[in-house]
């Protein structure tokens, strides 16, 4: 009898669960029951609010924060804008000798020397120097990063992240994605992995190495260190007996490394440089003469890379560059105020939001689901709509959504930015309905106790439930 009652109760519970509202199934899922959840879904075609749950709760956005940074830049500057890097010199040129220094003036191009462009631009820079008749430089090549203030470390980021490839120092000159590849030799279980070399080679870089070889089968190593400092602290573990194994950290001083590489290029091309490469984090206010201007790819293409691959460096530099509109050097505070003012003037009130960075690494960042949908609604009317939407990963198809909703009715229908940190899974973007309607949505789940895959599945099921109830 007791068993019969139990089965009856389970059956009734199952029926009730099957007919529960989608939001109830999300909030009562074991993976998300104790989470801070915010949801807002709006049909942009009809104006109808499809679902709303604690839509004004402020929640750490993680990488969905990139939507605000990239949309602000796109609307402010236009998709065809390009970031310049200027080669200039101080002093004067006489009989083939530059009596002065050669400057690399950075203005926030995040793509110099990245995997797409490589370092061939150094040949063009060297050629420009030789075309100017310079055969000897009495001074130095200087990486001038004074367009940003000297605070290369965002104070909102945590130590666990700082120094890793996804949380590099932010300078007005970026180089090689500010990423250093550390090659290790993995040995027996319990041994300390041996550092073999770095790519690129960074003069003077040292390591405090505590990476252990263990029985794990994944990369569990971390790199820690501060901008400008040439020592990196290696912790965690890597698989044992794997031979050569790679981990990624940041480049401590990209402006200096670029100056070193440009100096080497000049020397190889027959231009004598008498001074050692240097960098500037604060302007020396010396008058200079412009020699050559290098331009980045278009902002539209940079934003596509930023959102599709969720590149923190690019988002942070796009964000930091916005601060120039309030004065130089660019600062984090000014950039945040520009974002607030820009969207306030367009009906998106961010006065209650917390904006500590442009990429979402700062755990103090706090944005609501309604904020995101209001942004998405505005961008749906924008002249930049196509560029913005094309930058968003597509469910089951591309970017960080390649394995999200794959093989379901929503494959290919969700164009959205994801955001993931421990205990957090967020999605914000558009849902394209079969009848031609367009939805804007944000589902923010923070401080969940489930594993990342479990949280993702709960959100996927929620979106499928809402879709099926309204298609």
The angle subtended at Cα 319 by Cα 317 and Cα 323, nearest 5°, is 105
Provide the pLDDT for residue 116. 85
C-alpha 54, offset from chain centre:
27
* Count of CB atoms situated within 10 Å of the CB of 135: 16
Query: Two tokens at 329?
Result: 């050097």
> 118, exposed or middle or buried, with CB in 10 Å at 0-12, 13-18, 19+?
exposed
For residue 380, give both structure tokens: 């749906």
pLDDT at 16: 41
What DSSP character marks residue 467?
H
Question: Rounded to an integer, what distance in angstroms lies between the CA atom of residue 47 and that of residue 380?
Answer: 13
Q: What secondary structure, in 3-state letters, does 123-155 show?
A: HHHHHHHHHCCCCEECCCEEEECCCECCCCCCC
Q: Are residues 465 and 377 in the same domain?
A: yes
Contact 147, 330 (CB under 8 A): yes
Same-domain check for residues 346 and 320:
yes
Residues in the chain: 471
14 assigned to some structural domain:
no
Question: Which CATH number does the domain housing residue 106 bear?
Answer: 3.50.80.20
Q: Give the closest residue to 338 by CA, choosing from 75, 92, 33.
A: 75
Pair 444, 367 in one domain = yes
Q: Phi then psi for 136, rounded to 5 degrees?
A: -140, 140
In a domain, 171, yes or no: no
* Burial 280-318, CB ≥16 within 10 A → b, else e: bbeeeeeebeebbebebbbbbbbbbbbbbebbbbbbbbb
Count of structural domains within the chain:
3
Contact 90, 287 (CB under 8 A): yes
Dig out the tokens for 127 from the structure.
């050629």
Last residue of a domain, one of 241, 263, 294: 294
Whether residues 46 and 108 share a domain: the answer is no
Relative orientation angle of helices 332-344 and 66-77, to the nearest 10 degrees: 70
Q: Is the peptide bond before 366 cis (omega within 30 degrees of 0)?
A: no
Boundary-marking domain end, from 241, 276, 294: 294
* Residue 154 is assigned to a structural domain of this protein: no
In a domain, 46, yes or no: yes
pTM of the model: 0.94
Closest CA to 317 of 108, 70, 126, 121: 108
Return the closest-CA partner of residue 107 out of 78, 149, 142, 146. 146
Q: Would 160 be classed as within a structural domain? A: no
Residues 448, 362 share a domain: yes
With residue 94 as reference, give the H or E element that holds it.
strand 92-94
What is the structure's pLDDT at 323?
97
Cα distance between residue 425 and residue 456, in whole Å: 7
CB 171 within 8 A of CB 226: no
Q: What is the CATH number of the domain that holds 420?
A: 3.40.710.10
Tokens 């442009």 locate to 358
Q: Are residues 428 and 451 in the same domain?
A: yes
Same domain (yes/no): 66, 120 = no
Joined together, the tokens standing for residue 397 give 């198809």
Assigned domain for 165 exists: no
- 331 lies in the same domain as 418: yes
- Indicate the SS3 state at residue 86: strand
Strands 424-432 and 414-421: antiparallel
Residues facing 446 on adjacent strands: 36
With respect to residue 169, please indicate whether it lies within any of the assigned structural domains. no
- Same domain for 243 and 195? yes
| Domain end (from 263, 294, 325) | 294
Q: What is the pLDDT, as a whole number, of residue 376? A: 98
Task: Give yes or no: residues 245 and 265 share one domain.
Answer: no
- HSE at residue 415, side-chain half, CA atoms within 13 A, is 17
Same domain for 238 and 224, yes or no, is yes
Q: Tens-of-pLDDT digits for all 471 residues of the chain?
A: 455 554 444 454 444 444 579 999 999 999 999 999 999 999 999 999 999 999 999 999 999 999 999 999 999 999 999 999 999 999 999 999 999 999 999 999 999 999 888 999 999 999 999 999 999 999 999 999 999 999 999 999 998 899 999 999 999 999 999 999 999 999 999 999 999 999 999 999 999 999 999 999 888 999 999 999 999 999 999 999 989 989 999 999 999 999 999 999 999 999 999 999 999 999 999 999 999 999 999 999 999 999 999 999 999 999 999 999 999 999 999 999 999 999 999 999 999 999 999 999 999 999 999 999 999 999 999 999 999 999 999 999 999 999 999 999 999 999 999 999 999 999 999 999 999 999 999 999 999 999 999 999 999 999 999 999 998
Rounded to whole angstroms, the Cα distance separating 78 from 160 reads 35
Residue 348 lies in a domain: yes
394 shares a domain with 350:
yes
| Max CA separation in the chain (angstroms) | 105
As given in the structure block, the two tokens for residue 115 are 């995997």
Nearest in space to 448 (alpha carbons), one of 418, 417, 425, 419:
425
**What residues pair up with 224 in beta bridges, in sequence order?**
233
- Range of the structural domain that residue 209 is part of: 176-250
């Amino acid at each position: 009898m007791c068993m019969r009652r139990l089965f009856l109760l389970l059956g009734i519970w199952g029926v009730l669960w099957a007919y529960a509202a989608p939001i109830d199934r999300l909030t009562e899922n074991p993976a998300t029951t104790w989470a801070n959840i915010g949801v807002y879904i709006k049909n942009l075609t009809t104006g109808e609010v499809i679902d709303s749950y604690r839509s004004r709760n402020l929640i750490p956005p993680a990488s969905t924060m990139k939507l605000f940074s990239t949309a602000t830049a796109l609307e402010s500057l236009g998709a065809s804008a390009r970031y310049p890097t200027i080669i200039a010199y101080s002093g004067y040129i006489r009989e083939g000798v530059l009596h002065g220094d050669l400057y690399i003036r950075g203005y926030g191009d995040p793509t110099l020397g990245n995997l797409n462009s490589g370092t061939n631009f150094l040949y063009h820079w060297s050629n420009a120097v030789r075309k100017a008749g310079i055969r000897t430089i009495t001074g130095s090549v200087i990486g001038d990063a004074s367009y940003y203030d000297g605070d290369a470390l965002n104070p909102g980021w945590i130590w666990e992240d700082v120094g890793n490839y996804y949380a590099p120092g932010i300078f007005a000159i970026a180089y090689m994605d500010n990423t250093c590849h550390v090659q290790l030799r993995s040995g027996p279980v319990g041994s300390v992995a041996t550092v073999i070399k770095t790519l690129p080679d960074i003069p003077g870089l040292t390591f405090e190495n505590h990476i252990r070889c263990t029985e794990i089968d994944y990369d569990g190593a971390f790199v820690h260190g501060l901008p400008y400092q040439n020592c990196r602290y290696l912790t965690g573990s890597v698989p044992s007996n794997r031979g050569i194994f790679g981990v990624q950290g940041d480049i401590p001083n990209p402006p200096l490394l670029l100056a070193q590489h440009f100096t080497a290029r000049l020397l190889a091309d027959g231009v004598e440089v008498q001074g050692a490469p240097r960098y500037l984090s604060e302007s020396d206010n010396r008058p200079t003469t412009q020699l050559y201007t290098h331009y980045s790819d278009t902002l539209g293409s940079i934003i596509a890379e930023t959102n599709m691959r969720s590149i923190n460096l690019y988002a942070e530099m796009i964000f930091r560059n916005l601060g120039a509109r309030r004065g130089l050097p660019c600062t984090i505070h000014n950039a945040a105020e520009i974002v607030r003012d820009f969207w306030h003037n367009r009906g998106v009130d961010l006065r209650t939001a917390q904006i500590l960075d442009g990429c979402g690494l700062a755990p103090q960042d706090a944005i609501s689901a309604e904020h995101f949908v209001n942004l998405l609604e505005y961008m749906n009317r924008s002249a930049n709509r196509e560029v913005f939407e094309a930058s968003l990963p597509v469910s089951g198809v591309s970017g960080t959504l390649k394995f999200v909703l794959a093989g379901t009715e929503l494959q290919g229908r969700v164009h959205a930015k994801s955001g993931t940190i421990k205990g957090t899974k967020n999605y914000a973007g558009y849902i394209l309905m079969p009848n031609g309607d367009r939805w804007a949505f944000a589902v923010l789940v923070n401080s969940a106790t489930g594993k990342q895959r479990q949280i993702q599945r709960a959100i996927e099921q929620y979106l499928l439930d809402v879709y099926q109830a309204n298609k």
